[in-house]
Structure 1
């Protein structure tokens, strides 16, 4: 066999493995819910088959062997020799977890440490023990024949054509094995499913084949002539023969259908007897003879128009666009100044027009690059169904998980960073929020609890909600726990509203859990969740009703790279406030500021708000404030609002966020820096950090 270096394809292989593992994860859950659905089983089989082929090509034998055993298991289900049971689903998930572990070992480059032999034996034993005795007596050759026939029957049931291709590769071809793989890829790209190959070049032990002639058994929507022309177009192909196996399969299907009908008639009295005794029968839909399907023009699978791009290239492109945004702001300012100074100069008018046009083009470029960085949040949400299922089993709870808005797009950086906080919220909801079946029955609730995860766009933000219909948060219990832990005093507890008491859950070290849980830990992580979200310039809101449930709403910016900022002046210094944190801008007279117990407050629209001179926090001298209206920026931090007094508001503009770098480190109240249009470097304020500074004063 020709040898060639496959290491350069490792990144593509890992991407494909991730994609197929996600499919397997989702489809196992669907299989558990829907039972023996031929479409679901086929999608599972195809994903396992793709993994087997890819891993064999790359030489990862353990992954190849395990996916091969999964294929056998799924094939037994597809052909009716195994039923979809709780044990089968758990075994499939066990295989999936092992595949994920094998992938992690490949990514890390470490020597394989996972021993798959016990799991393979478990899969083999499961297949043998669960099959009817007559299946065990069949010779291995006949069983293999039935397996292939099962594939053919399944594909024909979907209206696909079954062809056997015999392809002669040119003797002058120097890398026949590569040509064979390219032919296989071309067939799959056209929409064909590969049922079998000869020689079996997916078998890593098959190293001595010369590949002068290869055969494929395929299922496709395309005609014989279309498949033949497709292969003939490829170089180094001498001859192509396409044999239609459809007629043979049709005869086999007719015989099987007749046998199934006979068996079903014999079973009908038994089912009626069960119903008469009050037992509900959960039977699969009866197989009806397939009507001849009208042949439709072959569409095939549309050729992929996507390419894989290194993330670092996207980051570099985003940085360049950011520099363009900065330069364009400067150009707009300069052209505006020139236009005001030379009002009758046509050249200056031309400059202004060109500047406006460049601004529009850069705006479109920025939007396009932003879209390239966007990913559907469903890629993150797809982790949760399996997690909720396993947690529900561990806690013996019945939970209906509802996910909405999976198509909502969010910057990939935000998606990567929001995963852990969401997992914590979900685990808390399952463990502490949703009651047991017994407790739900006592309050006349349905035994099945509902956990709802949604995502949607709201102006320039993405809103993610995690809600349950559980017991809700008891405000009195929260107050007692907070006083016991010394978080608040009894006097403070009396003044708290129910909503304010619920928000105590975000205090560091706070928990109402009676005992440590393996599911959600010690319940002390909600302050970490909040801090994590605030570090993304987001906010988290809480809505709870005792006995009805709890909902956490997370609001995040679409991207962290370019944001809209409010430019403020303090004395001779300029700072930027993220507009995502700005609730309202007002002007107040100094006389309206009151002092209660040493704290300054102001009443705005019947709301009592704490007032803070931003100058004092940042150690900048205050300006003269007598007899003039003070500009006040009201910012939101979760449920809390703060009135920040500044000297001047200088407008808002889009800014490129630059990190301070490791040599500066983390500065409380500062999230980064930016370059304004006039070339000045200014700091971006972090509202959550400012709130922490206020609490520490």
Structure 2
């Protein structure tokens, strides 16, 4: 059977199972006596093992099997859950993730996991390691030390084993361990196989025969054998091969054991085959069946390759450009039937646009999922107690935005844990609980998504920030007094700026928050800080729902057209020139009781004067966080949905321009980056 067709399904489902393992392990750390959590982890590990074996990834199957043994011990009350035990299981999950990522990148999913496997075996062996007074217990130690993963079998192999047992044959799993300094391992394996073939039939080997021939194993390997000989005879024969240190022969001593294996294998297969069956059943459905399913509330889902969605989006963007062109032609010709058709096409393409954008939406949960593990490890490194709360993980964002926000959030969380939350002893002195709380929150508001990182830590000292800013020559002492808290906290985003008294392994070098701000602004978003001494801080990130198709206000500057994103606009106004004032060599206006600085786009973009100026000016009031500015333009054209296109590799650093678009009349309009114009 060609397994390549199932590879994508395997990778996606493996990631889901590993995420489930991570989440449940964190839960288990809080409730170590809760066996139902252990059962959930066991279920995920068991399914992953079966899927890996079915796909032929033996290293993955081996490690998950060893994890299963430990989890089985926990749920049978033989092993007690401790923080050090969980550290080892977490490490095993990390290794599994690395192997899955290797497969995702086209690798073979192989990794040397002997360190974790030996630790898991020590956990599994329990008390036997300390009670080794007799030769029997010494033998049991060597068995524990040697027992490698029991083989995972496909349907054919299980059938052979079952039929052999029914016909009176013995079936063995044999672990052979070679001496550490064995020189010709492949030759020794060949000799062992030769001995085994004289006494029975080999069903399976782990690693595979090819890997054994290439010596791609440590010092031990597994062989499954069907034979009429006893376990003692087989062991003696193998031990005669030189450089074999030890042999363990495990007997399938009852049919019940074979039935258990068959049952376990039966649980595994559906995970891989489900998609194929689903596709077959959907193809077989008649339209009436589908509609009845819909009415019955059965939601069917299908995995779609991201690249296909990107191609669909690009095609639709071209359609939007042509739609704009048709609207323009229709307006110029003023033909009633054409107008009607174009209006209908606009409505339908608008609905289509909403569907495509919704398809590209991904819950922020996909980013948030990795943070509980990170916070747990950081809290241990910093010797702090942290309670991470995640709210609104189901909030959806465009995939292009999701791909970019992971790193900024990592920086902000590390900052909150290192600088924000105090150590337990300091928190107790200040009358707080010794466990600090960090809240990661996401929610929709209008055409934006807000992500907030809130902590109940020490807060940001306004005086410290001002002092540091003065030291770095960013402001004078007098100017510092006049700044609002929000303006003061903005200095934290300056490159190389840090109020940390000492540099830790986590933060304090002044690197990170400037990158965070740049990344978020490049996405068309903004970041603000609210903080109170002794109470904590809130870092609030505002992000656009999507980056590909945006609503803009088209404006004209002389004969050139520019697009200003609606998300940045507060309102538009027409003012008399006599109302323009001057303050600190800057043109300003008094707009609704607030002083707003003016920026003349003609000067910024060096647009040559073609028409005479009149006594009135058109102004677009734009915002960046809580700051605002007025952009002077010649006229407003109107609101329009446009496709955002990059300027290409040659024009990467054009000041205050974030991209371009093609208008309905075929002209190119540049899109203004308002964030760059507001200081």
After TM superposition, give the deviation of residue 468 of structure 1 in Å: 0.7
Is 1:83 the counterpart of 2:73? The answer is: no
Aligned match of 1:627: 615
> 1:500 aligns to what SS in structure 2?
helix
Question: 1:25-45 CA deviation, whole Å, 9 max, x = no partner?
Answer: 111111112223233212211
| Match of residue 518, structure 1, among 497, 505, 516 | 505
Question: 1:592-648 CA deviation, whole Å, 9 max, x = no partner?
Answer: 2222231222222222222111111101145644422x2211222233212111111
Q: Is the 8 A contact 1:673 1:683 kept in 2?
A: yes
Aligned match of 1:569: 556
Closer/same/farther in 2, CA of residues 202 and 656 from structure 1, 3 Å limit: farther
After TM superposition, give the deviation of residue 478 of structure 1 in Å: 0.7
Aligned match of 1:507: 494
| Match of residue 331, structure 2, among 323, 329, 336 | 336
Q: Which aligned pairs between 1:336-375 and structure 2 lie closer than 5 A?
A: 336-339=331-334, 348-375=335-362
Q: Which aligned pairs between 1:605-684 and structure 2 lie closer than 5 A?
A: 605-621=592-608, 624-628=612-616, 630-684=617-671
Aligned match of 1:217: 263
Gapped regions of structure 1 (runs ≥ 5): 144-165, 169-198, 222-229, 235-301, 340-347
Question: 1:58-88 CA deviation, whole Å, 9 max, x = no partner?
Answer: 3322221111100111111111111222122
Gapped regions of structure 2 (runs ≥ 5): 145-157, 161-201, 209-221, 227-257, 268-273, 279-296
Closer/same/farther in 2, CA of residues 209 and 330 from structure 1, 3 Å limit: farther
Question: 1:468-523 CA deviation, whole Å, 9 max, x = no partner?
Answer: 11111111111101111111122322322233212211222211111222113513
> 1:660 aligns to what SS in structure 2?
coil
> 1:462 aligns to what SS in structure 2?
strand
Q: Give the Cα–Cα distance (whole angstroms) in 2 for the partners of residues 203 and 352 of structure 1.
A: 71
After TM superposition, give the deviation of residue 311 of structure 1 in Å: 1.6
Q: Is the 8 A contact 1:56 1:203 kept in 2?
A: no
Question: 1:440-473 CA deviation, whole Å, 9 max, x = no partner?
Answer: 1222122211111111111111111111111111
Q: Is the 8 A contact 1:52 1:202 kept in 2?
A: no
Q: Give the Cα–Cα distance (whole angstroms) in 2 for the partners of residues 657 and 460 of structure 1.
A: 16
Number of aligned positions between the proteins: 549
Which range moves more in the overlay, 614-623 or 379-388? 614-623
Closer/same/farther in 2, CA of residues 352 and 84 from structure 1, 3 Å limit: same
Q: Please provide the CA RMSD for this pair.
A: 3.4
Is 1:25 the counterpart of 2:71? The answer is: no
Aligned match of 1:34: 31
Q: Give the Cα–Cα distance (whole angstroms) in 1 for the partners of residues 490 and 393 of structure 2.
A: 28
Q: Is the 8 A contact 2:528 2:541 kept in 1?
A: yes
Q: Which aligned pairs between 1:260-659 and structure 2 lie closer than 5 A?
A: 305-339=300-334, 348-520=335-507, 522-621=509-608, 624-628=612-616, 630-659=617-646
> 2:664 aligns to what SS in structure 1?
coil
Aligned match of 1:240: none
Closer/same/farther in 2, CA of residues 120 and 620 from structure 1, 3 Å limit: same
> 1:380 aligns to what SS in structure 2?
helix
Question: 1:12-37 CA deviation, whole Å, 9 max, x = no partner?
Answer: 33222222221111111111122232
Closer/same/farther in 2, CA of residues 313 and 200 from structure 1, 3 Å limit: farther
After TM superposition, give the deviation of residue 553 of structure 1 in Å: 1.0
Question: 1:541-570 CA deviation, whole Å, 9 max, x = no partner?
Answer: 111112211111111111111111111110
| Match of residue 12, structure 1, among 5, 9, 13 | 9
Closer/same/farther in 2, CA of residues 112 and 627 from structure 1, 3 Å limit: closer
| Match of residue 49, structure 1, among 46, 50, 56 | 46
| Match of residue 90, structure 2, among 79, 90, 93 | 93
